[in-house]
Structure 1
C-alpha cells in the first residue's frame, strides 16, 4: 500500500476513535465543577463508558504515532524531531488521562467524595498541559514556510500560526476553575479540538501531496 494511502487511512481511523471516545462518554460526564458525590455516582453508573473511552485512547495514541512518523519523515532536521516530540507528548498525555478514567471506573464505590474529586481533577489538567505538545507540533511546520526556500505552502503557514497562537493562549486554562476556561473544559475540548482537527487535516493534505509526488518520482 502506498504511504499516502496509509497516512489517509491511519488519520481517518485515529479521528474516528477520538470521536468515538467522547461519544462513548455521553453528554452527562463529570467536569471539574462536579462534586465528589457526583463523580462517584457517574463512575458507578457508567463504568463501561469510562473503560470504552480508555480503550479508544489506546488506538488514538497508536494512530498518532503513525501520523507523526510519516509526517516527520517529510521534514528536515531538526524540525522533524521537534514535531515528533510534540506528537509523542500528545499521545502520552492522552494515555495518562485515559487510564485515570479507567481506574476510577473500577471501584468508585470505595472512594469517599473528597478523594474521588481530587483523583478526577488530576487528569482534567491534560487539557492545558497537552497545549505544550500541540504548540511543539505546530511551531516547526509554521517555521518551514518562512525564508527564501519554504517547504510548506503559505496557507499551511497561516493555519499553523493560527493553531499555534490559539493553543498557546489556551494554556491559561491551567489557571481556570470553572466555565469556558476550566481545565479540560470547553476551550480545551471544543475550541482547541475543532481548530486542531482542521490543522491536522491541512497537514495530512499537504503530506499526501508530497508523498504522492515522491512515489511518482521513484516510479
Structure 2
C-alpha cells in the first residue's frame, strides 16, 4: 500500500477517534466551572462514558504518532525534529488528561468533592498547555514557506501562520475562569479544534502530493 494512502486512512481514523471521544462524553460533561459535587454526580452516572473517552484517546495518540512519523520524513532538519516533538507532546498530553478522566470514574462513589474538583481541574488544563505542542507543529511547517526556495505552497504557509497565531493566543485560557476562554472551554475545543482540523487537512494534502511525486 502506498504511503500516501496509509497517511490518508490514518488521519481519517485519528480524526474519527478524536470526535468519538467527545461524542462519548455527551453534552452534559463537567467543566472547569462545575462544582465538586457536580463532578462526582456526573462521574457516578457516566463512568462508562469517561472510560470510553479514555479508550478513544489511546487510539487518537497512536494515530498522531503515525501521522508525526510520516510527515516528519518529508521535512528537512531541524524542522522534522521540532514537528515530531510537537506531535508527541500533543499525544502525551491527550493520554495524561484522559487517564485522569478514567481514574476519577473508577470509584466515584467514595470520591471527596474537593479532591474531585482539584484533580478534574488538573486534567482540564490540557487545553491551554497543549498549545505549546501545537505551536511547535505549526511553526515547523510554516517556516518552510519562507526563503528563496520555499518547500510548501503559499496557501499552506498562510494556514500554518493562522494556526500558529490562534494557538498562541489560545494560551490565555490558562488565566480564564469562565465562558469562552475557560481552560478546556470553547476556545480550546471548538475554535482551536476547527482551525487545527483545517491545518492538518492542508498538511495531509501537501504531504500526499509529495509522496506521490516520490513514488
TM over 0.5: yes
In the TM superposition, residue 140 of structure 1 has moved relative to its aligned partner by: 1.3
Paired residue for 1:10?
A: 10
Paired residue for 1:124?
A: 124
Paired residue for 2:98?
A: 98
Paired residue for 2:170?
A: 170
Q: Distance in 2 between matches of 1:49 and 1:115?
A: 20
In the TM superposition, residue 64 of structure 1 has moved relative to its aligned partner by: 0.2
RMSD, aligned α-carbons: 0.4
In the TM superposition, residue 112 of structure 1 has moved relative to its aligned partner by: 1.4
In the TM superposition, residue 109 of structure 1 has moved relative to its aligned partner by: 1.2
Paired residue for 1:157?
A: 157
In the TM superposition, residue 115 of structure 1 has moved relative to its aligned partner by: 0.8
Paired residue for 1:39?
A: 39
Q: Which runs of 5+ in 1 are unaligned?
A: none
Q: Distance in 1 between matches of 2:82 and 2:50?
A: 32
In the TM superposition, residue 165 of structure 1 has moved relative to its aligned partner by: 0.1
Aligned residues, how many? 215
Paired residue for 2:86?
A: 86
| The 10-residue stretch of structure 1 (106-115 or 74-83) with the greater mean CA deviation from structure 2 | 106-115
In the TM superposition, residue 111 of structure 1 has moved relative to its aligned partner by: 1.2
Q: Distance in 1 between matches of 2:138 and 2:171?
A: 15
Q: Distance in 1 between matches of 2:5 and 2:183?
A: 36
Q: Distance in 2 between matches of 1:25 and 1:140?
A: 33
Paired residue for 2:65?
A: 65
Secondary structure of 1:7's aligned partner: helix
Q: Which runs of 5+ in 2 are unaligned?
A: none
